[in-house]
Amino acid sequence: MASYEIHYKLSHANGALVDEAWDESLLFEIGDGQLDPCLERCVLEAKLGQLQTFLLSAAEAFGDSDDEAFQVMQRGEFPSDMTLAVDAAVEFTTPTGDAYVGCIDSIEGEKIRVNFNHPLAGADVAFQVHILAITL
């Protein structure tokens, strides 16, 4: 499988920077989990040595926000020493050992609303990529 060495910037469509590997390159293989599949598709379309920008709608990028991904939990379901705050990320482990991260959306008394959507769900994004090298 081919390895790619790239520089990239991921931004909201309004220009706010989300993530980047510009000062140091990223070395990865398609499917290794370092980049989301929507960004890997852009890398596959990009040309070696050319700086390219891909504008992705929410549906093309990380998907639309799904109302079913919001879950209301009780304060007692969180560790008693955990400080809960709106916009705080919280990691949960399922009985099978899988880990999921949710973001606290609202706190109303004992009811904590957690958003399990991808943090960029519902957002249009710009992905700027420069492929430095491809090794077969």
Enter the pTM of the model. Answer: 0.79
**pLDDT tens track for 98-132:** 888 899 999 999 999 999 999 899 999 999 999 99
Q: Specify the pLDDT at position 119.
A: 87
Q: Specify the pLDDT at position 7.
A: 98
Mean pLDDT of the chain: 94
- 3-class secondary structure per residue, 11-44: EECCCCEEEEEEEEEEEEECCCCCCCHHHHHHHH
Residue 54 has pLDDT above 90, yes or no: yes
Q: Specify the pLDDT at position 53.
A: 97
CB 132 within 8 A of CB 5: yes
- For the segment 20-45, the average pLDDT, to the nearest whole number, is 95
- For the segment 69-87, the average pLDDT, to the nearest whole number, is 92
Q: Going from the N-terminus, what domains does the chain have, and what CATH number goes with each? A: 3-63+120-135 (3.10.50.40), 67-115 (2.40.10.330)
**pLDDT tens track for 84-94:** 999 999 988 88
